[in-house]
């Protein structure tokens, strides 16, 4: 497990291209969202967390900003597995391999 995944903050790693399928999650993310890794991996992060009050236009804007910027912060309403809404302080950045590729 990478050092980042041992972080006490909720972390989810997705593919770098749409539909941004989950590659890995850490235990704090499981505790926050309610999805176990076997339920989340391979699913679109939007399908897992978006719901009625999620501002989908704002979420798309975050994605477009990530195409131009190295780091993006946003606050979104997301949903847990059991349907409870929560304010998500999203911090997103691309991850790179040692050779510089994504």
- At 10-62, the pLDDT tens digits run 999 999 888 999 999 999 999 999 999 999 999 999 999 999 999 999 999 99
pTM of full prediction above 0.95: no
Residue 9 and residue 26: Cα distance in Å, rounded?
Answer: 8
| Residue 101, pLDDT above cutoff 80 | no
What is the rounded distance in angstroms from the CA atom of residue 79 to the CA atom of residue 61? 19
- Residue 102's pLDDT is 66
pLDDT at 1 over 60: no
What CA–CA distance (Å, rounded) separates 98 from 30?
Answer: 28
């Amino acid at each position: 497990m990478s050092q980042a995944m041992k972080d006490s903050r909720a972390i989810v790693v997705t593919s770098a291209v749409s539909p941004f399928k989950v590659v890995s999650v850490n235990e704090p993310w499981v505790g926050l969202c309610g999805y176990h890794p076997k339920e989340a991996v391979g699913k679109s992060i939007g399908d897992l967390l978006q719901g009625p009050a999620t501002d989908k236009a704002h979420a798309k804007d975050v994605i477009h900003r990530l195409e131009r910027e190295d780091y993006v912060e946003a606050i979104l309403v997301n949903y847990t597995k059991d349907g409870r809404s929560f304010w998500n302080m999203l911090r997103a950045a691309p991850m790179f391999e040692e050779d510089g590729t994504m």
